[in-house]
Amino acid sequence: DTGVSQDPRHKITKRGQNVTFRCDPISEHNRLYWYRQTLGQGPEFLTYFQNEAQLEKSRLLSDRFSAERPKGSFSTLEIQRTEQGDSAMYLCASSFPSVQTAGGYTFGSGTRLTVV
Amino acid sequence: QKEVEQDPGPLSVPEGAIVSLNCTYSNSAFQYFMWYRQYSRKGPELLMYTYSSGNKEDGRFTAQVDKSSKYISLFIRDSQPSDSATYLCAMNYGGATNKLIFGTGTLLAVQP
């Protein structure tokens, strides 16, 4: 296992288009997280899954955003009707559920979205 | 007011210097404290993870937590040009979510 994989690495899209990102977590990890990071800021929590169940969504995740993890393995994050304010790095991370390993997130390299 | 405050820098030091990076937080419910390193156009990488107040050392890195002052620090000894990156503090409540609250990150440049 080579870590958390995200695809694509970069995406440029026109305002109003839909985009979808994919994340493949570490196979032993049953928790998967999505974060968003804008320039000069730390990552902000969007949502997380335990196996296939989406257990929490941030208020940052508007109705235009939807995330899925259909078989408890890979996850997709879709943004509909993109806006310029959606331009950011979208980071995926995975971990074990134990609080004692809470620091044990492994992040992917992210998908950088630019909305023009 | 943000839950976690971190000086964004940039911080420039000569090679071999001791670097001190700091974060303050407002919510005493935070239980777990982490430092991540993020190179340009990469995802964050976990450096240090602490639970209780006190010091934790790992090679050239020392993490310090003072819960009474709501203050955490990361010290880097004998800094190297390869340490040049953004350093993010992060913390969580230890509940079911495991979601992390990050600082804004401090950009560090170690000059050879």
**A97 in Cβ contact with A30 (< 8 Å):** yes
First to last CA, chain B: 37
At A28, the pLDDT band (50, 70, 90 cuts) reads: confident
Structure tokens at A75: 């996850």
pLDDT of A29 > 80? The answer is yes
What are A34-84's pLDDT values in tens digits? 999 999 899 999 999 999 999 999 988 889 999 999 988 999 999 999 999
First to last CA, chain A: 35
Query: Tokens 């992210």, residue?
Result: A110
Among A57, A50, A52, A46, CA closest to A89: A46
Chain B interface, best mutation among A105, A111, A112, A113, by max B CB count within 10 A: A105
Structure tokens at A1: 């296992």
> What are the φ/ψ torsions at residue B14 (nearest 5 degrees)?
-80, 155
> What are the φ/ψ torsions at residue A99 (nearest 5 degrees)?
-60, -35
Asked if the bond preceding B8 is cis, omega within 30° of 0, the reply is no
Residues of A in contact with B103 (CB under 8 A): 42
Chain B interface, best mutation among A7, A39, A44, A99, by max B CB count within 10 A: A99
Residues of B in contact with A4 (CB under 8 A): 43
Chain A with chain B: Cβ pairs closer than 8 A? 68
Q: Write the DSSP symbol of residue B39.
A: -
- Rounded CA-CA distance B4/B71 in Å is 10
Binned average pLDDT, 10 residues per bin, chain B of 112 residues: 88 97 94 93 91 89 95 97 97 81 96 96
Residues of A in contact with B104 (CB under 8 A): 40-42
